[in-house]
Structure 1
Amino acid sequence: LGMAFLLPPCFFMGGTFPAMTQHLYAKRTDLGRGGALLYGMNTLGGACGAFCAGFLLLGWIGFRACYVVGVLLSLGIAAVGFALSLQTRTTSPDHNAENPFPTRTEGGPNPKVPPWGVIKALAFASGFATLALEVLWTRMFEQVLHNSVYTFSLILVAFLVSIGIGGGIASYLARIQIEPTRVLVAAGCVAGLTTGLTPFLFTEVTGGLGYLGESQGWWGYVGTISRTMALTVLIPGIAMGSFFPYLLKMAEPHTLSTGKTAGILTSINTVGGVLGSLAGAFFFLEVFGLWNGIRAVGSIYFWMALVAGVHLLPRNRAGTVVPVGGILLLLMVLNPAGLPMVKVSRDKEILDYWEGSAGTVAVVESPKTRSILVNNYYTLGGRLAKKYQETMSHIPLLAHPDPESVFYIGMGTGITAAGSMVHPVEKVTICEIIPEAVEASRQYFHEDVRGLFEDSRVEIVVEDGRLFLAASDRRYDVIIGDLFIPWKAGTGNLYSLENYRSGFRHLKEGGVYAQWIPLYQVSDFELGVIAETMLEVFPAVSVWRGDFFAEKSIVLLLGHKQATAFDPDRINAKAEQLSEETVGFPLNDPKDFWMHYCGSMSRENSPFDEYPINRDDLPIIEYTAPITMRKERAGETEFIGGKEFLELMDWLRENSPWGEDPLLKNAGVKELGWIDEGYERHRSKIRGL
Structure 2
Amino acid sequence: MNKEIRTKAPLCADHFILLCILFFLSGTAGLIFQVIWMYRLGLVFGNAAYATAATLSAFFLGLALGGWFLGRASAKFRRPLKMYGLMELGVALTALLFVPGLEFYEMYYAESISFLGNSKGILLPMKFIFSALLLILPSFLMGGTFPVLSQYIGKNRTQLSKRGTALYAVNTVGAALGALLTGFYLILEYGVSFTYYLAVALMFSIGLLAVVLDSLSTPTTVVRKTSRTSIAQGKSFGGPSKLGNLQFIIVAFSSGALALSAETLWTQMFAQVLQNSVYSFALILVVFLLALGMGGFLSHLLVRSRMGSNRVIVLLLSIAAVFIGISPTIFNLATNGLEYVAMGASWNTYVWAVFKLALLVVLPPTVVLGAVFPFLLKAAPVTNRPAGRIVGVLVFFNSLGSFAGPAIAGFVLLDILGLWNSVKVIAIFYGILAVWVFFSFYGEKKNVRLLLPILIVSGILLLKNPPLLRLETDEKLLDSWQSSDGVVSIVRKSKNIQMRLDNFYVLGDSESVLVEQMQAHVPLMIHPAPKKVAFLGMGTGITAGAALYHDVEKVVAVELVSNVIPAAQGYFSPWANGLFQDSRASIVADDGRNFLLGTKEQFDVIVGDLFTPWHAGTGSLYSLEHFGQAKKRLGAGGVFAQWLPLYQLTPENFYTIAATFAAVFPHVTLWRADFSATRASIVLIGQEAGVQLDEDTLRRNIVHVTGGQDNQDKSHMAGLFYLGNLNNIGNRLSHVELNTDDRRAIEFKAPILSQQANAGRANYIVGKELANLFVEISDNFSRNDPYLSGLPIDEIKFVEVGALYFRYLQYIDQRKDVMAKKTYDKIQTLAPGFLKKDIKAGE
TM-score bracket for the superposition, by shorter chain length: over 0.9
- In the alignment, the residues of structure 1 paired with residue 709 and residue 673 of structure 2 have an alpha-carbon distance, to the nearest angstrom, of 16
3-state SS of 2:303 partner:
helix
Q: Specify the alignment match of 2:137 in structure 1.
A: 8
Change (3 A) 1:399 1:229: same
Shift in Å, 1:327 = 2.5
Checking the alignment, whether the CA contact within 8 Å between 1:607 and 1:651 is kept in structure 2 is: no
The farther-off stretch of 478-487 and 553-562 is: 553-562
Q: Specify the alignment match of 1:150 in structure 2.
A: 279
Q: Specify the alignment match of 1:454 in structure 2.
A: 581
Matched to 1:436, the amino acid is N
Q: Specify the alignment match of 2:369 in structure 1.
A: 240
Which of 268, 274, 295 does residue 403 from structure 2 map onto? 274
3-state SS of 1:165 partner:
helix
Q: Specify the alignment match of 1:212 in structure 2.
A: 341
Q: Specify the alignment match of 1:313 in structure 2.
A: 442
Checking the alignment, whether the CA contact within 8 Å between 2:341 and 2:354 is kept in structure 1 is: yes
Q: Specify the alignment match of 1:162 in structure 2.
A: 291
Q: Specify the alignment match of 2:827 in structure 1.
A: none
Q: Specify the alignment match of 2:263 in structure 1.
A: 134
Matched, 1:576 2:703: yes
Q: Specify the alignment match of 1:113 in structure 2.
A: 242
**Equivalences for residues 99-498 of structure 1 within 5 A:** 102=232, 110-251=239-380, 253-254=382-383, 256-313=385-442, 316-317=446-447, 320-331=450-461, 333-336=462-465, 339-498=466-625
Matched to 2:297, the amino acid is G
Change (3 A) 1:552 1:385: same
Change (3 A) 1:349 1:456: same
Which of 660, 668, 680 does residue 784 from structure 2 map onto? 660
CA deviation profile, 1:605-645 (whole Å, cap 9, x unmatched):
45312211110111100000000111011111111123333
Shift in Å, 1:252 = 6.3
Change (3 A) 1:320 1:672: same
The farther-off stretch of 83-92 and 667-676 is: 83-92
- In the alignment, the residues of structure 2 paired with residue 101 and residue 634 of structure 1 have an alpha-carbon distance, to the nearest angstrom, of 60
Checking the alignment, whether the CA contact within 8 Å between 1:28 and 1:257 is kept in structure 2 is: no
CA deviation profile, 1:343-382 (whole Å, cap 9, x unmatched):
1101000001111121111000011411111110111010
- In the alignment, the residues of structure 1 paired with residue 704 and residue 287 of structure 2 have an alpha-carbon distance, to the nearest angstrom, of 58
- In the alignment, the residues of structure 1 paired with residue 658 and residue 232 of structure 2 have an alpha-carbon distance, to the nearest angstrom, of 71
Shift in Å, 1:281 = 0.6
- In the alignment, the residues of structure 2 paired with residue 221 and residue 94 of structure 1 have an alpha-carbon distance, to the nearest angstrom, of 58
Matched to 2:262, the amino acid is L
3-state SS of 1:254 partner:
coil
Shift in Å, 1:222 = 1.0
Checking the alignment, whether the CA contact within 8 Å between 2:553 and 2:584 is kept in structure 1 is: yes
CA deviation profile, 1:140-187 (whole Å, cap 9, x unmatched):
000110100000111111111111111110110101211111011000
Change (3 A) 1:100 1:305: farther
Which of 556, 571, 592 does residue 683 from structure 2 map onto? 556
Q: Specify the alignment match of 1:586 in structure 2.
A: none
RMSD over aligned CA atoms reads 2.3
Shift in Å, 1:658 = 4.2
- In the alignment, the residues of structure 2 paired with residue 482 and residue 302 of structure 1 have an alpha-carbon distance, to the nearest angstrom, of 46
Matched, 1:513 2:643: no
Matched to 1:203, the amino acid is N
- In the alignment, the residues of structure 2 paired with residue 642 and residue 634 of structure 1 have an alpha-carbon distance, to the nearest angstrom, of 17
**Equivalences for residues 590-601 of structure 1 within 5 A:** 591-601=716-726
- In the alignment, the residues of structure 1 paired with residue 491 and residue 566 of structure 2 have an alpha-carbon distance, to the nearest angstrom, of 14
CA deviation profile, 1:390-409 (whole Å, cap 9, x unmatched):
01111100011110011001
Matched to 1:2, the amino acid is S
Shift in Å, 1:663 = 1.5
Checking the alignment, whether the CA contact within 8 Å between 2:480 and 2:489 is kept in structure 1 is: yes
Q: Specify the alignment match of 1:630 in structure 2.
A: 755
- In the alignment, the residues of structure 2 paired with residue 273 and residue 538 of structure 1 have an alpha-carbon distance, to the nearest angstrom, of 44
3-state SS of 2:707 partner:
helix
- In the alignment, the residues of structure 2 paired with residue 255 and residue 549 of structure 1 have an alpha-carbon distance, to the nearest angstrom, of 76
Checking the alignment, whether the CA contact within 8 Å between 1:101 and 1:253 is kept in structure 2 is: no
- In the alignment, the residues of structure 2 paired with residue 181 and residue 381 of structure 1 have an alpha-carbon distance, to the nearest angstrom, of 54
- In the alignment, the residues of structure 2 paired with residue 638 and residue 93 of structure 1 have an alpha-carbon distance, to the nearest angstrom, of 75
CA deviation profile, 1:558-605 (whole Å, cap 9, x unmatched):
11134311111221232135323689xxxxx96442111111134994
Matched to 2:550, the amino acid is H
Matched to 2:406, the amino acid is S
Checking the alignment, whether the CA contact within 8 Å between 1:426 and 1:457 is kept in structure 2 is: yes
Shift in Å, 1:550 = 2.8
Matched, 1:678 2:807: no
- In the alignment, the residues of structure 2 paired with residue 565 and residue 93 of structure 1 have an alpha-carbon distance, to the nearest angstrom, of 89
Change (3 A) 1:121 1:89: farther
Q: Specify the alignment match of 1:646 in structure 2.
A: 771
Which of 646, 649, 655 does residue 528 from structure 1 map onto? 655
Checking the alignment, whether the CA contact within 8 Å between 2:724 and 2:779 is kept in structure 1 is: no
Checking the alignment, whether the CA contact within 8 Å between 1:535 and 1:603 is kept in structure 2 is: no
Q: Specify the alignment match of 1:613 in structure 2.
A: 738
CA deviation profile, 1:180-227 (whole Å, cap 9, x unmatched):
110110000000111111111111111111111111111111111111
The farther-off stretch of 573-582 and 55-64 is: 573-582
3-state SS of 2:616 partner:
coil
Q: Specify the alignment match of 2:62 in structure 1.
A: none
Q: Specify the alignment match of 2:59 in structure 1.
A: none
3-state SS of 2:726 partner:
strand
Checking the alignment, whether the CA contact within 8 Å between 2:231 and 2:386 is kept in structure 1 is: no
Q: Specify the alignment match of 1:29 in structure 2.
A: 158
| Count of residues in Structure 1 that have an aligned counterpart in Structure 2 | 676
- In the alignment, the residues of structure 2 paired with residue 90 and residue 546 of structure 1 have an alpha-carbon distance, to the nearest angstrom, of 78
CA deviation profile, 1:81-117 (whole Å, cap 9, x unmatched):
01111122689997499x997499xxx9733322123
Shift in Å, 1:385 = 1.1
3-state SS of 2:733 partner:
coil
Checking the alignment, whether the CA contact within 8 Å between 1:39 and 1:245 is kept in structure 2 is: yes
Checking the alignment, whether the CA contact within 8 Å between 1:26 and 1:93 is kept in structure 2 is: no
Checking the alignment, whether the CA contact within 8 Å between 2:262 and 2:423 is kept in structure 1 is: yes
Shift in Å, 1:466 = 1.5
Q: Specify the alignment match of 2:99 in structure 1.
A: none
3-state SS of 1:648 partner:
helix
Checking the alignment, whether the CA contact within 8 Å between 1:571 and 1:590 is kept in structure 2 is: no
CA deviation profile, 1:439-480 (whole Å, cap 9, x unmatched):
111111111111111101100001111111111001101111
3-state SS of 1:158 partner:
helix
The farther-off stretch of 419-428 and 258-267 is: 258-267
The farther-off stretch of 340-349 and 563-572 is: 563-572
| Structure 2 portions without partners, runs of 5+ | 1-129, 815-843
- In the alignment, the residues of structure 2 paired with residue 614 and residue 102 of structure 1 have an alpha-carbon distance, to the nearest angstrom, of 58
- In the alignment, the residues of structure 2 paired with residue 53 and residue 93 of structure 1 have an alpha-carbon distance, to the nearest angstrom, of 48
- In the alignment, the residues of structure 1 paired with residue 144 and residue 416 of structure 2 have an alpha-carbon distance, to the nearest angstrom, of 36
- In the alignment, the residues of structure 2 paired with residue 57 and residue 403 of structure 1 have an alpha-carbon distance, to the nearest angstrom, of 44
- In the alignment, the residues of structure 2 paired with residue 205 and residue 542 of structure 1 have an alpha-carbon distance, to the nearest angstrom, of 47
Shift in Å, 1:685 = 4.1
Matched to 2:453, the amino acid is P
Change (3 A) 1:94 1:377: farther
Matched to 1:228, the amino acid is L
- In the alignment, the residues of structure 2 paired with residue 623 and residue 12 of structure 1 have an alpha-carbon distance, to the nearest angstrom, of 32
3-state SS of 2:436 partner:
helix
| Structure 1 portions without partners, runs of 5+ | 584-588
Q: State percent identity of aligned pairs.
A: 33
